[in-house]
A and B are shown apart, each in its own frame.
Chain A
């Protein structure tokens, strides 16, 4: 009876977590994943397995942090010229998102952590506290990092606007500098 009740309670709770599936999918797409649906599904599977670790009040930063690790792992696995494949082995032809070339060049000029700091706030609409939880750092450290990242992006944008246009890059190099 107790096990049955626990199961029901866990399912009810996971349903709330699962309601963020669309947000996690969009996150993976924004980060240039070739298989955003697979990333989101895997993040949700991890959330189910480790449901006790998912914050009850606000699971979204935890989900973003998990999805970020999965996107990074995907980028490490994928050879630059290899076709993307989903978790079940099927090829995925979903084109990565296209960015404004100037912005893409400027973002490439940032470190991966600076880029994630900016994008969590700008694209995922997280508060600094939520974004800090997603990155696993303190809110104060996040604010400092955000301030510096904004300055670096500003500089990088100015440099990107004066430089020649880059070759077409359809995937944000998450491992880039």
Chain B
């Protein structure tokens, strides 16, 4: 045993070195005459079940989102495309500015909905058509102070990430991404400066909407 490996030692002392010689013909016939267990249909593996569950979940969510968008669009709550940069350029080309007056730099994408300062109180919505009128009226008035004020206010509007609604937008228009904004109050357009004061002093909870 000293020079023998453990397994070889065990093999050497195997009490039944060969398989038993059994005539099992009769046993075989008896066994196959017995009924077999009914086996249920194989279940899917856990991984496949999880993948299928996630796929179904995604499909349901996509269906719900599509349905909600379609319903909201049907009622006009959503979501006309906001003004594009090209439209902004077109508006620039259609208005002749007096000497010394320049268009404000459009430093935000009008299609984007942004907010600043938290609490949803930093964005001001203004109807594009009214904005054009306001701007045009200031220019046409010939009042240099009015032009400068309008210029400054519009610059301020853009600097504060104003959300611009498209011309002709309904009263229920809200920008994409903010389908149900909290509106603190609505002010007439000529109180834009007051709107900004309220926002900067954080006296609003929600958005201030400038109405023409």
Contacts and interface: CB of A to CB of B under 8 A. Distances in A.
Nearest to A149: B6
Contact of A30 (B6, B14, B31): B14
A41 interface: yes
Given A44-B31, A99-B15, A49 B37 contact: yes
Nearest to A153: B6
Contacts of B7: 118, 121-122, 150
B86 interface: no
A113 interface: no
A51 B19 contact: no
A45 B28 CA distance: 9
Interface string B5-39: 01101110111101111101001100110111101
Interface in A20-63: 21-23, 25-26, 29-30, 36-37, 40-41, 44-45, 48-52
Interface stretch (A11-19, A65-73, A74-82): A11-19
A48 B34 contact: yes
Nearest to A118: B10
A22 B6 contact: no
A49 B32 CA distance: 9
B1 interface: yes
Given A44-B31, A52-B39, A26 B19 contact: yes
A85 interface: no
Interface residues of A, number: 38
A25 B20 CA distance: 6
A17 to B, nearest CB: 10
Nearest to A172: B15
A26 B10 contact: no
B10 A37 contact: no
Given A22-B20, A118-B10, A121-B7, A11 B15 contact: no
B24 A21 contact: yes
Given A26-B20, A30-B15, 4 more contacts: A103-B10, A118-B10, A123-B10, A150-B6
Interface of A: 10-11, 14-15, 18, 21-23, 25-26, 29-30, 36-37, 40-41, 44-45, 48-52, 97-100, 103, 118-119, 121-123, 150, 153-154, 157, 161
